[in-house]
Amino acid sequence: MSGPAGVHPSGTAPSRAPSRRRTTEQSLLGRLLFENFGLKLLSLVVALGFYASMHTTSNAQRTLQVPLVADMPSPGTQRSLVSEVPQTISVTLEGPRTQLDALEAKLDPIALNLRGARDETVTFTQAMLAGLPRAAKVTRIIPEVLVIRWEDVIERKVEVQVPIAGQLAKGLEVRGEVLVSPRQLEVTGPQSYAKALQLARAEPFDLTGLGEGKHTRNLALAAPPTKLAFEQRHVEATIEIARKLATRELLAKVQVIGLARGRAEPAVVRVVVAGAPERVSTLKPESVLVRVDPRAAGADPMKPGSAVMPVLVDVLDATAQSDPPQVVVRW
């Protein structure tokens, strides 16, 4: 059986607490939003204005790279640029943040007129920078000054050097010097650079695996120093490989040919014989002929006289040299 109207079946009245709570929260929110609304709106406007001011009128700094474009002399000019011209210079700007933020990563290039090939000093200024915002100010340029230096181009000859690498088989050796063609090369470039270069160096001549005989190779030259150029990039080198020679020293009397009364001073010289080991080891002193020939020197045997003459050494299957190489002959 239902109870009286407005009375819960359990005999208690329905709870009105949730409804009152919602009403209280809405009332509190309304007061927070609309109480002193004008003052709060003014505070919001001031905050937005301050934010906008910080991002529109505040100054900032920015560093950019400005390209350099060099207008060089026409081909064939006998002048060479010896100072370095950088690709860019560093420019630091100060100005309104919004204007600097709108700049591209690089400003317009600066053109350098170097067609005259003359020494000069370039001082970079703000007036040389195109595309700057009106309110921007240049605070630093690196480098601020650029020194341009030129030199006359010259040509000169330098010796070619061929180093030797590798090892020969036992009992073999390089006979004589390395023959290089051409022996000298022409180098072209700025005067101070060309004069400082002493040698043109070729790649090494590798002896590994070579046998007796002459060997010729085409060798590449090492690249010349910067700003210099060789007339060619390769040279031809020839090396002679032969069996190692043994040496032996002998004392021998100098014979004066064609003059019965002729005598040499000194009368005995030291002879160094070089040849195959088996030949030199069995060589006897009497097998070596040491002589001077006054007739070949134009001496008149009918008149007494004296002359300095070269000593001639004859030996079979070997080579020999006299020490001293000349003697005084009297007759």
What's the CATH code of the domain at 272? 2.170.120.30
What burial class does residue 147 get, using C-beta atoms within 10 Å of its C-beta: 0-12 exposed, 13-18 middle, 19+ buried?
A: exposed
Q: Is residue 319 part of a domain?
A: yes
Distance CA 84, CA 153 (A): 17
Which of residues 209, 243, 277 is at a domain's end? Answer: 243
pTM of the model: 0.57
Q: Are residues 66 and 126 in the same domain?
A: yes
Parallel, antiparallel, or unpaired for β 199-201 and 150-161?
parallel
- Contacts by residues 170-174 (CB-CB < 8 Å, ≥ 24 positions apart): 171/243, 171/244, 172/210, 172/211, 172/212, 172/241, 172/242, 172/243, 172/244, 173/241, 173/242, 173/243, 173/244, 173/245, 174/207, 174/239, 174/240, 174/241
The angle formed by the CA atoms of residues 81, 85 and 87, to the nearest 5 degrees, is: 140
Q: Are residues 250 and 326 in the same domain?
A: yes
Strand partners, 189: 154
Q: Is residue 54 part of a domain?
A: no
Contact indicator for 109, 65 with CB cutoff of 8 Å: no
Parallel, antiparallel, or unpaired for β 59-71 and 110-113?
parallel
Q: Are residues 236 and 170 in the same domain?
A: yes
Per the structure, the complete domain to which residue 315 belongs is given by 246-330
Q: Are residues 199 and 278 in the same domain?
A: no
Q: Is residue 12 part of a domain?
A: no
Q: CB-side exposure of 202: number of CA atoms within 13 Å?
A: 30
Q: Is residue 43 part of a domain?
A: no
Which of residues 105, 132, 148 is at a domain's end? Answer: 148
Q: Are residues 264 and 235 in the same domain?
A: no
Distance CA 257, CA 314 (A): 14
Which of residues 214, 243, 272 is at a domain's end? Answer: 243
What burial class does residue 121 get, using C-beta atoms within 10 Å of its C-beta: 0-12 exposed, 13-18 middle, 19+ buried?
A: exposed
Q: Is residue 255 part of a domain?
A: yes
What is the CATH number for 173? 2.170.120.40
Q: Are residues 177 and 230 in the same domain?
A: yes
Q: Is residue 27 part of a domain?
A: no
Q: Is residue 112 part of a domain?
A: yes
pLDDT digits (tens, 9 = 90+) for 38-53: 676 667 666 665 555 5
pLDDT tens for the 331 residues of the chain, in order: 444 444 444 454 455 555 666 666 566 655 665 666 667 666 766 666 555 555 555 788 989 999 999 999 998 889 999 999 999 999 999 988 888 877 766 678 999 999 999 999 999 999 999 888 888 899 999 999 999 999 999 999 999 999 999 999 988 999 999 999 999 999 999 999 999 999 999 999 999 999 999 999 999 999 999 999 999 999 999 999 998 888 999 999 999 988 878 899 999 999 999 988 888 988 888 889 999 988 777 777 778 888 899 999 999 888 999 999 999 999 8
Q: Is residue 14 part of a domain?
A: no
The one-letter code for the residue type at 159 is E
Q: Is the peptide bond before 224 cis (omega within 30 degrees of 0)?
A: no
For residue 222, what are the CA distances in angstroms to 202, 219, 299? 6, 10, 55
Distance CA 161, CA 184 (A): 9
Phi, psi dihedrals of residue 28, rounded to the nearest 5°: -65, -45
Contact indicator for 283, 328 with CB cutoff of 8 Å: no
Question: How many domains does the chain divide into?
Answer: 3
